[in-house]
A and B are shown apart, each in its own frame.
Chain A
Amino acid sequence: MIRFLIERLFQAAVVLIVVALLAFVMFRFAGDPVAQMVSLDTTAEDRAALREAMGLNNSLPVQFGQFVLRAVQGDFGLSYQMGQPVATLLAERLPASIELSLVAFGIALIVGIPMGVYSGLYPESWLSRAFLILSLAGISLPTFFIGIMLILIFGVELNLFPTFGRGETVDLGWWTTGLLTGSGWHSIILPACTLGLFQMTFIMRLVRAEILDVMRTDYIKFARARGIAKGRINYGHALKNTLVPVLTIAGLQLGSIIAFGIVTESVFQWPGIGLLFIQAISTVDIPVMSTYLLLVALIFVSINLIVDLLYLLVDPRLRVRSR
């Protein structure tokens, strides 16, 4: 068990370093940060001095080494554009992204699972067909389009929901939350629906397929033959057995919602880490971009690690092999 954990942690560290290295190499092609930081009239001499002071004249391995060395000490440098510590910027933005992701994920589960169960149990009904058409739209329509349409319909025409921002937030010291105010909940609905729609259709389709499978298995047939009530068969026996794979995959998806809510965040001007990243790309703010990518890698690595550990607890066969 301990050895497994150490192995996994070592692997995680390697992944993080590789991500950082790839990010660093890619930023070479993102443009010149100095050109973004000075006015067009700045002399070439001043530009050169700034370049030197920022350490951009050092070779790539040296720059990378310095970045990693400072990163392990928790120092991610100052944002080129905003002149503030990157760690602070990300920490300020992270709560917004996590809240949006959790609400989106909640909507996806609460709506997606019943829809999936229903369309799995009654695949021929017209409602199931309607669900399938909806899910097709959810999977095929690009997020920004869905977001803009929701804004147009519910924000501009109906004037039901705010079209951008996070509403009022409450500062808890280490966390700012919009979930304690009315305007916060009001503001989160549209972006959460936009972000959750893909996950919802995904979960719905997964549950539907699993239910269709399970209903054909022998134990369900036996249960029916024994005359057990339909409700107990459907929800007590069938649904329970479909949930394990669904939750595993859905859990992994949570990582990607947190990390890749970029489009939704930019359409709704949601002040999360994705928006910060978009702004950083357009201004070649290398410290912000590198730290964001590291953070995303860390989120994925941690979720995978947790999932692996859960498997280990659940499945005795893995425990034997790892010994």
Chain B
Amino acid sequence: MPNIRLSSVFLASALALSPAASGAETLRFASQGDIGSMDPYVVEEVFTSGFLGNIYEGLVRRAPDLSIQPALAESWELLSPTHWRFHLRKDVTFHDGTPFNADDVIYSADRVRAGASDFKNRLPSDAKVVAVDDYTVDFITTEPNPILHYTWANWYIMNRDWAEANGVGDADKAASEESYATLHENGTGPFQLVSRAPGVKTTLSRYDGWWGEGSVPTNVTEVEYTPVPNAATRVAALLSGQLDVVFPVPVQDIARVEAAPSGKIEAGPEVRTMYLTMNQWRDTLPGSGLEGKNPLKDRRVREAMYRAIDLETIHARILRGRATPAALMVAPGVNGYSDSFKRYEYDPDRSKELLAEAGYPDGFTFTFQCSNNMYVNDEAICLAVSNMLAKVGIDAKANVQAKAQYLEAILSPNMDFGLAMLGTTPASLDSHIALYSLHMCPRADENSAVWAPDDLAKIVAGKSNFAGYCNPEIDRLANEILIETDEDKRNALINEAWTITTDDVAYIPLHQSWGAWGVREGVGVEVRADNIFDWRYVTVAE
């Protein structure tokens, strides 16, 4: 983008006309999409649940370093491996003034598991929730679960009286009438909704009765959120001083924002791991023309693909150094991560040898599904990977599509790909969920044959294992990890599982890319690795 310089005469007259800066403690920010609903159980998506986390609160919350902090629960204890006791905070009121108590937790526990809630996995469906008194709640599960509350930072507590008075029923995505909770809220958090025009603008103000007043640094009293899908518009609005925070800033604009006197970039590695998934389920590799054969079922072929990808070049050229290479399917900061795992080194010669050993000296062809609007520079990375594979003789036909079409192609039961690029963030920030949903065999129940195609609709484990990696040893370990309450033993099991999956080349982990936030000079933010924007940590200079 050319840098336009104009004479100082023009500039002087221009400054006189520039719009007056609005109130000093207003936070004006923009991101690419709007929140789906004000109802905290309808859409599980990072931006929506992060946004609502400023309005609603859970029993626990995540600090900027992602550690677990008490929120609506002051403390908790494990009475037995299956029996949890949570002690609730007593001085909390909802935004309409109603005091918060155990009944609201019971209501929220019921509603989050009912209807078309997107957060059903926050609590096992057979877990019992019992109010011991007004400020003590017990959770009784059938299986021990040492990380029960790890995913609760975005399981927000709703008010029973408000919901019932306004006819808010179960979360319903196919409803024919608008739910009251879609445009209204009654949370306990530091900010309350003032007005909302979906897709246009949402304004919020500070809730005076917030229990945590003074415990966080923010001085923001008003918040104005505008969804701005067009990245160039977003960056221009930051540079012209109309916005205080924009996210994400595209890689090619980072230097420009840094060079501007009024803007700065806050960046850090995300907790999302980008990876390539290889179809190991289909008997015939999609797009290969090899009837009845799937080379990707062969570990040697998978290692050959891994070694054919020159990640350093991708990072230097496409991500301009803003990425952390990954050897594991979880990022640093996730429980169970270890830096003792190393990537298979880039070695195209070894790749060719491995392909020859596996019986494909001339390579093979398959479909490579890519998105172009889901992740940082996803299209460019895909095309680079495709070119690198071509150098060892593998013809990965890249099919780049927008999110909607892309997901349709790769989600089960379609599995219409040889290779696909995806990103994963373990919701609990623990390795178990990554093992459970990405590495366990997708099957209908414990006894059913692995890979039974008719059962695809009923899969209970390996839900995001779209490529069908399967190793019974991992299934066994994952189930043990789930119920092991001794932390050291549990971590040893996790390490064992990661050793097996990396030896199997179950996936090709690529990197954690760095999220770049554009911030106006004078505004302080805490950039979190999970990309959640917590206004509790935003300060605006007066």
Contact of B457 among A45, A81, A83 (CB under 8 A): A45
- B44 near A41 with CB under 8 A, answer yes
Point out the residues of chain B lying under 8 angstroms from A315, CB to CB.
none
Contact of B403 among A164, A276, A282 (CB under 8 A): A282
Contact of B240 among A46, A155, A279 (CB under 8 A): A155
A128 close to chain B: CB less than 8 A: no
Contact of A78 among B176, B402, B405 (CB under 8 A): B176
Point out the residues of chain A lying under 8 angstroms from B14, CB to CB.
158-160
Number of chain B residues whose Cβ lies closer than 8 Å to a Cβ of chain A: 70
A253 close to chain B: CB less than 8 A: no
**Interface stretch of the complex, out of B81-89, B224-232, B332-340, B489-497:** B224-232
- A157 near B6 with CB under 8 A, answer yes
- A35 near B463 with CB under 8 A, answer no
Point out the residues of chain B lying under 8 angstroms from A82, CB to CB.
34, 36-37, 182, 198-199
Point out the residues of chain B lying under 8 angstroms from A40, CB to CB.
463-464
Select the residue from A37, A93, A268 with max chain B CB neighbours within 10 A: A37
B45 close to chain A: CB less than 8 A: yes
| Chain A residue at minimal CB-CB distance from B121 | A41
CA distance A282 to B237 in the complex (A): 23
**Interface stretch of the complex, out of B392-400, B406-414, B469-477:** B406-414
Q: How far is the CB of A70 from chain B (nearest CB, A)?
A: 10
Q: A84-B198, A92-B197, A276-B199 are in contact. Are A163 and B178 (CB under 8 A)?
A: no
- Taken residue by residue from 448 to 475, chain B's Cβ proximity to chain A (1 for < 8 Å, 0 otherwise) reads as 0000000011111001100000000000
- B118 near A38 with CB under 8 A, answer yes
Contact of A148 among B232, B240, B456 (CB under 8 A): B232
A266 close to chain B: CB less than 8 A: yes
Q: A46-B116, A50-B174, A82-B198 are in contact. Are A158 and B6 (CB under 8 A)?
A: yes
- A159 near B176 with CB under 8 A, answer no
| Chain A residue at minimal CB-CB distance from B373 | A282
Q: A44-B412, A83-B37, A151-B236 are in contact. Are A162 and B4 (CB under 8 A)?
A: no
Interface of chain A residues 234 through 271 with chain B (CB within 8 A):
266-269, 271
| Chain B residue at minimal CB-CB distance from A51 | B174
Contact of B118 among A39, A84, A160 (CB under 8 A): A39
- A32 near B37 with CB under 8 A, answer no
User: Which size bracket describes the interface of A in this complex?
Assistant: 35 or more
Point out the residues of chain A lying under 8 angstroms from B241, CB to CB.
159
- B464 near A41 with CB under 8 A, answer yes
Point out the residues of chain B lying under 8 angstroms from A14, CB to CB.
none
B18 close to chain A: CB less than 8 A: yes
Q: A46-B116, A159-B240, A160-B14 are in contact. Are A279 and B178 (CB under 8 A)?
A: no
Contact of A44 among B5, B15, B230, B413 (CB under 8 A): B413
Point out the residues of chain B lying under 8 angstroms from A13, CB to CB.
none
- B239 near A156 with CB under 8 A, answer yes
- A159 near B15 with CB under 8 A, answer yes
A275 close to chain B: CB less than 8 A: yes
Point out the residues of chain A lying under 8 angstroms from B405, CB to CB.
29-31
| Chain B residue at minimal CB-CB distance from A265 | B230
- A37 near B178 with CB under 8 A, answer no
Point out the residues of chain B lying under 8 angstroms from A31, CB to CB.
402-405, 407-408
Point out the residues of chain B lying under 8 angstroms from A33, CB to CB.
404
Contact of A77 among B34, B176, B403 (CB under 8 A): B176
Q: How far is the CB of B28 from chain A (nearest CB, A)?
A: 10
B11 close to chain A: CB less than 8 A: yes
- Taken residue by residue from 78 to 103, chain A's Cβ proximity to chain B (1 for < 8 Å, 0 otherwise) reads as 10111111000100110000000000
Point out the residues of chain B lying under 8 angstroms from A39, CB to CB.
43-45, 118
B183 close to chain A: CB less than 8 A: yes
Point out the residues of chain A lying under 8 angstroms from B458, CB to CB.
44-45
Point out the residues of chain A lying under 8 angstroms from B464, CB to CB.
40-41
Point out the residues of chain A lying under 8 angstroms from B233, CB to CB.
151, 163-164, 266-269
| Chain A residue at minimal CB-CB distance from B171 | A83
- B411 near A35 with CB under 8 A, answer yes
A283 close to chain B: CB less than 8 A: yes
CA distance A156 to B259 in the complex (A): 13
CA distance A93 to B199 in the complex (A): 10
B179 close to chain A: CB less than 8 A: yes
- A269 near B404 with CB under 8 A, answer no
Point out the residues of chain A lying under 8 angstroms from B411, CB to CB.
32, 35
B216 close to chain A: CB less than 8 A: no
Contact of A50 among B33, B173, B176, B404 (CB under 8 A): B173
B17 close to chain A: CB less than 8 A: yes
- A164 near B228 with CB under 8 A, answer yes
Contact of B404 among A30, A46, A92, A279 (CB under 8 A): A30
Q: A83-B37, A84-B183 are in contact. Are A266 and B402 (CB under 8 A)?
A: no
CA distance A55 to B176 in the complex (A): 12
A104 close to chain B: CB less than 8 A: no
Point out the residues of chain A lying under 8 angstroms from B173, CB to CB.
37-38, 50, 53-54, 80, 83
- B19 near A162 with CB under 8 A, answer yes
Select the residue from B118, B226, B240 with max chain A CB neighbours within 10 A: B240
A304 close to chain B: CB less than 8 A: no
- Taken residue by residue from 1 to 35, chain B's Cβ proximity to chain A (1 for < 8 Å, 0 otherwise) reads as 10011100011001101110000000000000110
Contact of B182 among A84, A164, A186, A283 (CB under 8 A): A84
Point out the residues of chain B lying under 8 angstroms from A163, CB to CB.
233, 236-237, 240, 242
- Taken residue by residue from 136 to 150, chain A's Cβ proximity to chain B (1 for < 8 Å, 0 otherwise) reads as 000000000000100
Contact of A157 among B4, B43, B373 (CB under 8 A): B4
Q: What are 7 sample pairs from A and B whose C-beta atoms fall under 8 A apart?
A: A36-B403, A82-B182, A157-B5, A158-B10, A159-B240, A160-B14, A279-B33
20 further A-B contacts with Cβ under 8 Å, apart from A39-B44, A42-B118, A78-B177, are A33-B404, A39-B118, A41-B44, A44-B412, A53-B173, A80-B173, A82-B182, A83-B173, A83-B175, A152-B4, A157-B4, A158-B6, A159-B14, A159-B15, A162-B242, A164-B236, A267-B230, A269-B233, A278-B229, A279-B34
Across the A-B interface, give the 7 residue pairs with the lowest CB-CB distance, nearest first.
A31-B404, A53-B174, A39-B44, A271-B200, A158-B14, A35-B407, A32-B408
Interface residues of chain A, those whose CB is within 8 Å of chain B, are 29-33, 35-46, 48-50, 53-55, 77-78, 80-85, 89, 92-93, 148, 151-153, 155-160, 162-165, 183, 186, 266-269, 271, 275-276, 278-279, 282-284
